[in-house]
């Protein structure tokens, strides 16, 4: 646990480290995620009580999680009453020079691959990018932007917490509801599903959708 962190993610072991943004768990990029979940469970079990009730950040480096793996991570942490406050604080600093224009967020982009299914919920303090479809009945909540490389058919809430500059982009934008900051909109009845990328953002006091 004392290893110094020069790269965003240590390659051999799980590391907890205090960053400016908060206590951060570094998950190595190699090996399967399930393996690291077991290790995490084990380590937290040994350090019983130490982290209890706290909130942490999780640094995944280049790793992309599936919605199922994400649920697994939350389940393990919930066992020790730990909450995930956000993802990828290190990567954010490197890749996101626009930070100063936005309200401060504690973390960066959460990359998810695979279909987000009915009943699943993704949250992140920062942006969320989904490589796959977002199905009806699912919810995606980000304090930053939401980008779906697939069809968005569920509920998406970008700029949660009040960022009116947040945007929602999808290859096929056919959501049950769109929410940006404090505004909510739904697609007009009988709107033909446009097959092509679209972007939703706030213009005036309304959410507008435009073809990209």
Closest separation in Å from C-beta 66 to other proteins: 7
Q: Which of 38, 46, 45 is nearest to 72 (CA)?
A: 38
Which residue bears the tokens 């646990």?
1
Closest separation in Å from C-beta 116 to other proteins: 8
Q: Which is nearer to other proteins, 125 or 139 (CB)?
A: 139
Q: Which is nearer to other proteins, 137 or 197 (CB)?
A: 137
- Interface residues with other proteins (CB under 8 A) are 34, 66-68, 71-72, 115, 117-120, 133, 135-137, 151, 153
User: String of b and e for 41-59 (b: at least 16 CB within 10 Å)?
Assistant: bebbeeeeeebeeeebbbb
Q: Answer whether 111's CB lies under 8 Å from 64's CB.
A: yes
Q: Which is nearer to other proteins, 151 or 173 (CB)?
A: 151
- 3-class state of residue 164 by DSSP: coil
Q: Which is nearer to other proteins, 134 or 202 (CB)?
A: 134
Closest separation in Å from C-beta 157 to other proteins: 19
Q: Which is nearer to other proteins, 140 or 180 (CB)?
A: 140
Q: Which of 177, 176, 180 is nearest to 168 (CA)?
A: 180
Closest separation in Å from C-beta 76 to other proteins: 12
Closest separation in Å from C-beta 115 to other proteins: 6
Q: Answer whether 77's CB lies under 8 Å from 55's CB.
A: no
What is the Cα–Cα distance from 169 to 150, expressed in whole angstroms? 10
Which tokens sit at 199? 């972007």
């Amino acid at each position: 646990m004392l290893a110094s962190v020069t790269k965003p993610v240590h390659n051999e072991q799980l590391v907890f480290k205090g960053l400016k943004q908060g206590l951060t768990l570094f998950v190595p990029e190699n090996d399967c995620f399930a393996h690291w979940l077991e290790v995490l469970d084990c380590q937290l079990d040994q350090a019983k009580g130490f982290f209890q009730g706290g909130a942490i950040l999780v640094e995944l480096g280049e790793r992309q999680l599936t919605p199922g793996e994400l649920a697994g991570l939350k389940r393990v942490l919930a066992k020790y009453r730990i909450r995930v406050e956000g993802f990828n604080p290190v990567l954010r600093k490197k890749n996101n020079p626009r930070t100063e224009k936005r309200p401060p967020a504690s973390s960066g982009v959460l990359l998810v691959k695979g279909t987000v299914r009915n009943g699943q919920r993704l949250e992140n303090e920062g942006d969320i990018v989904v490589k796959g479809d977002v199905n009806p009945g699912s919810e995606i909540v980000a304090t930053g932007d939401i980008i779906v490389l697939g069809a968005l058919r569920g509920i998406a809430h970008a700029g949660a917490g009040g960022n009116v500059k947040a945007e929602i982009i999808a290859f096929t934008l056919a959501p049950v509801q769109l929410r940006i900051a404090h505004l909510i909109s739904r697609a007009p009845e009988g709107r033909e599903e446009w097959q092509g990328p679209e972007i939703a953002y706030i213009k005036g006091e309304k959410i507008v959708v435009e073809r990209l």
